[in-house]
Amino acid sequence: MWRFVEIFLLQLAGATLLVFLAIQLNIKWDFLSIALLGAFSGLLIWLCINLNRSVHFLNWIRTGDISRAPKLNGVWGEVTDRTRRLLREQVKSLNASNKRLDDFLAAIQASPNGVVLLDVNGQIEWCNLTAASHFGLNPTADISQHIGNLVRDPVFASYFATGNFLHEVTISGKSSAAGRASRLAVQIHPYGQGKKLLLSNDVTGREALEFMRRDFVANVSHEIRTPLTVLSGFVESLQTLDLDEAERSKYLELMGQQTLRMQSLVSDLLTLSKLEGSPSPLSDTWIGAEALAYSCELEAKALKSDLEAKHGQNEIALNSKEQLTFEIQSNLELAGSQSELLSAMCNLVNNAVRYTPAGGEIRVSLKATDGGGAIFSVNDTGSGIAAEHLPRLTERFYRVDASRSRESGGTGLGLAIVKHVVQRHGGELQVSSILGKGSNFCFILPSSRVRIK
């Protein structure tokens, strides 16, 4: 409505102005012609004004700066206001969409799985940092590169070429932090118009655990089967053979030894299971170092006596009391589980008793460290352990000499138990050995688990 009023006023003003000029200049035109000419002049002025407004509007539209919208009147002012409101709504909607997209991409970046977006030609559109680490990609430079040119594993190449993506495949990834090649489970999921979503998952640890599980089951089966086979043979002999009392007693003694071996194995397995499935010991229960050492020494001497009785005095390490010495700091106390700490100490000392040859020495010490912690150390002058065996000593059932270990009554689980106990108490197990000269096994407990009474 205002547009028509504006035009009418400009025409009226033009007509009035021309009539006034005509009267002043004494022009002999008729009044109607002068009025019409004035009205036309007013219309031209209106058109010029709006043309100027349209130019301002177009210049503003070209800049795209909503905050610098021109202040116009009339129809172009209304057009400017409506356009500015529409642009504001579009910018608001675009910002909200970008915010959702950023949140979505941030969530994918935080995913432990690798994510790669591929276009219809198999070229990379986007990938998260996990995928970049899995496949050795550059998230920026490798955009628009074909995935087949960057992931050259033959299994993946065949998988991608066949187009059968109903299952995942396992391929080799880039080297892990430990320097070993990782293993990746990858699967492609088609979406949209021919696009593809490539997901990857590092299964290196999972495969290692599966291998350990199979190895553990095989080892347990083997360790139990051996004494069971022996027991079965003795039972069959007792049932079918006419044995005298001496032979029967010998068979029963051997059967008892195999039974004890199985009991030791089951006991160690239960100990490991308990250690892995229970929370760490509290730090409010204090145990005297001397009491632990005394119990450990009694067990070591009992083991020494059993081995001497079994193998004979000349085949065992400890031929005199002086060869097994304990040096314990009497005013030292440790916090944690008494049974667990005693088990760890006894396992280390008993191993030294079993594997130190005749004439050797074993020195056991427990004392405070300069940093406020405590160190329990077992040194022996045995045959030592080759360097290639040291990293695997704490693995379950790992033995440097399997036959010798079984003869001495070891289950192959002792050092695994020690490692778990020490870790549960916040400590660290350390092993050093020189082949032919001896070994040192020690664990260090933190200051939070040690006090001087």
- Each residue's pLDDT tens digit, 21-33: 656 666 555 555 6
pLDDT of residue 320: 42
Are residues 34 and 18 in contact, defined by beta-carbon separation less than 8 angstroms?
yes
Highest mean pLDDT among 60-64, 288-292, 350-354: 288-292
Q: What percent of the chain is modeled with pLDDT above 70?
A: 79
pLDDT of residue 315: 44
- The model's pLDDT over 100-139, given as tens digits with 9 standing for 90+, comes to 888 888 888 888 899 999 999 999 999 999 899 889 899 8
Are residues 437 and 430 in contact, defined by beta-carbon separation less than 8 angstroms?
no
Q: pLDDT category, 365, cuts 50, 70, 90?
A: very high
Are residues 315 and 358 in contact, defined by beta-carbon separation less than 8 angstroms?
yes
Are residues 38 and 17 in contact, defined by beta-carbon separation less than 8 angstroms?
yes
Cα dist from 360 to 39, 387, 427, whole Å? 128, 21, 29
Query: Measured between alpha carbons, how far apart are the two ends of the chain, in Å?
Result: 99
> Measuring CA to CA, which residue among 143, 151, 142 is closest to residue 169?
151
- The model's pLDDT over 181-203, given as tens digits with 9 standing for 90+, comes to 688 999 999 998 889 999 999 88
Cβ neighbour number for residue 372 with a 10 Å cutoff: 13
Are residues 138 and 114 in contact, defined by beta-carbon separation less than 8 angstroms?
no
> Among 34-43, 155-164, 232-241, where is mean pLDDT lowest?
34-43
pLDDT of 154 above 80: yes
- At 394 the three-state DSSP class reads coil
β-pair type (195-202, 438-445): unpaired
pLDDT of residue 430: 94
Fold of 111-202: Beta-Lactamase (3.30.450)
pLDDT of residue 367: 93
Q: Would you give the DSSP letter of residue 401? A: S
CATH of 280-452, one of 3.40.190.10, 1.10.238.10, 3.40.50.720, 3.30.565.10: 3.30.565.10
Question: Which pair of structure tokens corresponds to residue 214?
Answer: 């199979």
CATH of 205-278, one of 3.40.50.720, 1.10.287.130, 1.10.10.10, 2.40.30.10: 1.10.287.130
Q: Would you give the DSSP letter of residue 280? A: P
Q: Which helix (H) or strand (E) holds 159?
A: helix 154-162
Residue, of 246 and 21, whose pLDDT is higher: 246
Task: Please report where in the chains the tokens 């056991």 appear, as a residue.
Answer: 364
Bridge partners of residue 434, in order along the sequence: 438
> Among 110-119, 205-214, 321-330, 436-445, where is mean pLDDT lowest?
205-214
Q: Bin 163: left if φ > 0, else alpha if -120 < ψ < 50, else beta.
A: left
Task: Pinpoint the residues of the chain covered by CATH 1.10.287.130.
Answer: 205-278
Instruction: Please return the burial class of 83, using the count of CB atoms within 10 Å of its CB with bins 0-12, 13-18 and 19+.
Output: middle
Q: For the chain, what is the mean pLDDT?
A: 80
Question: How many Å separate Cα 330 from the centre of its chain?
Answer: 43
CA angle 446, 448, 449 (to 5 degrees): 75
Q: Which helix (H) or strand (E) holds 8?
A: helix 2-25
Q: Would you give the DSSP letter of residue 321? A: G
> pTM here?
0.55
Q: What percent of the chain is modeled with pLDDT above 90?
A: 28
Task: Pinpoint the residues of the chain covered by CATH 3.30.450.20.
Answer: 111-202
Query: How many whole angstroms separate alpha carbon 50 and alpha carbon 104?
Result: 47
pLDDT of 69 above 60: yes
> Measuring CA to CA, which residue among 81, 75, 7 is closest to residue 41?
7
> Among 4-13, 108-117, 300-309, where is mean pLDDT lowest?
4-13
276-289 mean pLDDT? 84
Task: Pinpoint the residues of the chain covered by CATH 3.30.565.10.
Answer: 280-452
Task: Please report where in the chains the tokens 């096994």 appear, as a residue.
Answer: 441
pLDDT of residue 387: 86
CA angle 285, 287, 288 (to 5 degrees): 150
Cβ neighbour number for residue 229 with a 10 Å cutoff: 11
Are residues 361 and 386 in contact, defined by beta-carbon separation less than 8 angstroms?
no
Question: Which pair of structure tokens corresponds to residue 48?
Answer: 């010029």
pLDDT of residue 379: 93
Instruction: Please return the burial class of 30, using the count of CB atoms within 10 Å of its CB with bins 0-12, 13-18 and 19+.
Output: exposed
Are residues 383 and 357 in contact, defined by beta-carbon separation less than 8 angstroms?
yes
Question: Residue 7: phi, psi to the nearest 5?
Answer: -65, -45
pLDDT of 240 above 60: yes
